[in-house]
């Protein structure tokens, strides 16, 4: 695996090739990331990964400074999945001047769910992803369904800017007890780690309710109940909601009668760690 730190080195390594499969990450890689790498490897050649902790997508009170940076171990893991090229720029390389041009995400997508509780998050994500796409110029890019709304933001951005990149979704990887794999799981203490799968269970229960009683008022009750269940267990939930997969809008009665078109999404804080998860149904 070749490791490059600058866009110039990256372009030199890729030459005239524009057929790469690309998996952007912020490092601290786990099996979920590696499954995205395998997905990328199957979709295009060469496989290019990036590691860059993107300041623009963190609010001032969030964990940018403490976000785990595990570069050497990440490189070892990337070698095991046959990653060909790693782009690991520093901030001066990717943001040599203040990033005053930004991607403004649309109302009704960038400011709901995660965007409501993390204002500016998707603007930061979309901006760095657009920059990384410009550097790597891949044919294919893989984004995990674990960050469901992020995947949709990137898909819409690629469509609306006519970027010649096919966006491939990667399935969420789970621990044996159902907890979705995430770099932030490492923040959990042993008691919190034992409790953490309750978020996935709450989403399963919510999906079952929604599939069983297809009326918007019953769904609103089920969402409140799911939040109350987590609160009673010591969580601080931001949202647990059923949305349409197609546009993340709240489902109407006709949508609720249409299995296979919905997704339950949740975000909740356990101690100081904020976890997100989702379940398609
Ligand atoms: O999902 C992530 O790790 C990040 O949001 C991404 C896509 C690498 C952009 O910084």
At 261, the pLDDT band (50, 70, 90 cuts) reads very high
At 17, the pLDDT band (50, 70, 90 cuts) reads confident
Q: Is residue 177 part of a domain?
A: no
Q: Is residue 234 part of a domain?
A: yes
Give pLDDT tens digits for 131-182: 999 999 999 999 999 999 999 999 999 999 999 999 999 999 999 999 999 9
Portion of the chain with pLDDT greater than 90, in percent: 95
Q: Is residue 176 part of a domain?
A: no
Task: Specify whether 224 is catalytic.
Answer: no
At 259, the pLDDT band (50, 70, 90 cuts) reads confident
Q: Is residue 74 part of a domain?
A: yes
Mean of the per-residue pLDDT values for the chain? 97
pLDDT value at position 109? 98
154 exposure class (CB count in 10 Å sphere: 0-12, 13-18, 19+): buried
23 C-beta closer than 6 A to ligand 1: no
pLDDT value at position 213? 76
pLDDT at 104 over 80: yes
267 C-beta closer than 6 A to ligand 1: no
The average pLDDT across 29-49 equals 97
CA distance 168 to 129: 14
What H or E segment, with its residue span, contains residue 240?
Answer: strand 236-244
The domain that holds 268 is classified in CATH as 3.30.1300.10
**Structural domain ending residue among the three candidates 110, 140, 170:** 170
pLDDT value at position 224? 97
Residues 203 and 145 in one domain: no
CA distance 224 to 214: 16
Residues 117 and 229 in one domain: no
Complete edge-to-edge strand list for the sheet that includes strand 21-25: 2-4, 85-87, 47-51, 21-25, 140-144, 166-170
Residues 156 and 198 in one domain: no
Q: Which atom of ligand 1 is nearest to the CA of 154?
A: 7
Residues 33 and 129 in one domain: yes
The average pLDDT across 217-238 equals 96
The domain that holds 145 is classified in CATH as 3.40.50.620
**Structural domain ending residue among the three candidates 170, 201, 221:** 170
Residues 153 and 217 in one domain: no
pLDDT value at position 120? 98
128 C-beta closer than 6 A to ligand 1: yes
The average pLDDT across 110-131 equals 98
Residue nearest to atom 2 of ligand 1 (CA): 25
Chain CA centroid to CA 57, Å = 12
Residues 197 and 264 in one domain: yes
276 C-beta closer than 6 A to ligand 1: no
Helices (H), the chain: 7-14, 31-43, 71-80, 91-94, 114-117, 121-136, 148-160, 190-195, 198-212, 216-232, 253-256
Q: Which atom of ligand 1 is nearest to the CA of 129?
A: 9
Tokens 């229960």, located at residue: 205
**Structural domain ending residue among the three candidates 140, 170, 200:** 170
24: CA distance to ligand 1 center in Å? 6
Residues 50 and 153 in one domain: yes
Residues 117 and 151 in one domain: yes
The average pLDDT across 56-71 equals 97
To test the ligand 1 pocket, which listed residue (32, 33, 54, 131) has its Cβ within 8 A of the most ligand atoms? 54
The boundaries of the domain holding residue 39 are: 2-170
Residues 195 and 138 in one domain: no
129 C-beta closer than 6 A to ligand 1: yes
26 C-beta closer than 6 A to ligand 1: yes
216: CA distance to ligand 1 center in Å? 33
244: CA distance to ligand 1 center in Å? 23
147 C-beta closer than 6 A to ligand 1: yes
Q: Is residue 178 part of a domain?
A: no
Tokens 């005053």, located at residue: 100
The average pLDDT across 203-215 equals 90
At 7, the pLDDT band (50, 70, 90 cuts) reads very high
pLDDT value at position 91? 98
The residue annotated as part of the active site, out of 30, 33, 61, 209, is 33
Residues 159 and 202 in one domain: no
Spatial contact of 236 and 268, defined as CB atoms under 8 Å apart: yes
CA distance 88 to 94: 10
pLDDT at 75 over 90: yes
Q: Is residue 197 part of a domain?
A: yes
pLDDT value at position 81? 98
Residues 31 and 102 in one domain: yes
Residues 147 and 261 in one domain: no
CA distance 42 to 23: 12
pLDDT value at position 41? 97
Query: How many domains does the structure of the chain reveal?
Result: 2
Q: Is residue 175 part of a domain?
A: no
Q: Is residue 163 part of a domain?
A: yes
Spatial contact of 124 and 57, defined as CB atoms under 8 Å apart: yes
Per-residue buried b or exposed e for 74-87, using 16+ beta carbons within 10 Å of the residue's own CB: bbebbeebebbbbb
The average pLDDT across 1-24 equals 96
């Amino acid at each position: 695996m070749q490791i490059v730190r600058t866009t110039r080195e990256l372009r030199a390594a890729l030459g005239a090739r524009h057929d790469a499969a690309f998996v952007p990450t912020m490092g601290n890689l786990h099996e979920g990331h590696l499954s995205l790498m395998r997905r990328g490897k199957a979709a295009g050649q060469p496989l290019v990964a990036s590691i860059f902790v993107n300041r623009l997508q963190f609010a001032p009170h969030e964990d940018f400074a403490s976000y785990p940076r595990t570069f050497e171990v990440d490189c070892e893991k990337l070698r095991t999945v046959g990653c060909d090229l790693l782009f690991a720029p520093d901030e001066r390389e990717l943001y040599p001047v203040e990033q005053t041009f930004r991607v403004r995400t649309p109302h009704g997508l960038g400011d709901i769910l995660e965007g409501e509780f993390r204002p500016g998050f998707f603007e930061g994500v979309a901006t760095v992803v657009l920059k990384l796409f410009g550097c790597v110029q891949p044919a294919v890019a893989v984004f995990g369904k674990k960050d469901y709304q992020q995947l949709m933001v990137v898909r819409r951005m690629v469509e609306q800017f006519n970027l010649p990149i096919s966006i491939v979704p990667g399935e969420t990887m789970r621990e044996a007890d159902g907890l979705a794999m995430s770099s932030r799981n490492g923040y959990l203490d042993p008691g919190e780690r034992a409790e953490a799968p309750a978020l996935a269970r709450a989403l399963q229960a919510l999906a079952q309710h929604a599939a069983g009683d297809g009326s918007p008022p019953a769904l609103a009750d089920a969402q409140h109940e799911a939040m109350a269940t987590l609160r009673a267990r010591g969580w601080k939930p931001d949202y647990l909601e059923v949305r349409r997969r197609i546009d993340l809008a709240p489902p109407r009665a006709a949508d609720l009668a249409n299995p296979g078109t919905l997704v339950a999404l949740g975000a909740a804080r356990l101690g100081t760690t904020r976890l997100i998860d989702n379940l398609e149904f």
